[in-house]
Amino acid sequence: KYIRYEFSNFLINHGIRRQLTMACTLQQNEISECQNITLVKIAYLMSSAS
C-alpha cells in the first residue's frame, strides 16, 4: 500500500499534477457529465466512420 507521502513523491517524480476535488458537488457532476457526453459522441463517430 502507498502512504500519502510515497504516493505524492511518485506523482512528482513522474510529472503528474495532482488535483483534489470535492466529490458529488453539482459543479463536478456537471463537468463529468459533459465529458462523458463528449466521449460517447467521439466513440459513436469513430464507430460510424469505420
pTM exceeds cut of 0.85: no
Largest CA distance in the chain: 46
> How do residues 4-36 score in pLDDT, each as one tens digit?
888 888 999 999 988 777 766 777 778 778 888
**Cα torsion for 37, 42, 44, 48, to the nearest 10°?**
160
Domain count, the chain: 1
- Please report whether residue 13 resides in a domain: no
- Please report whether residue 9 resides in a domain: no
CB 50 within 8 A of CB 43: no
- Please report whether residue 3 resides in a domain: no
Tell me the residue range of the domain where 35 lies.
18-50
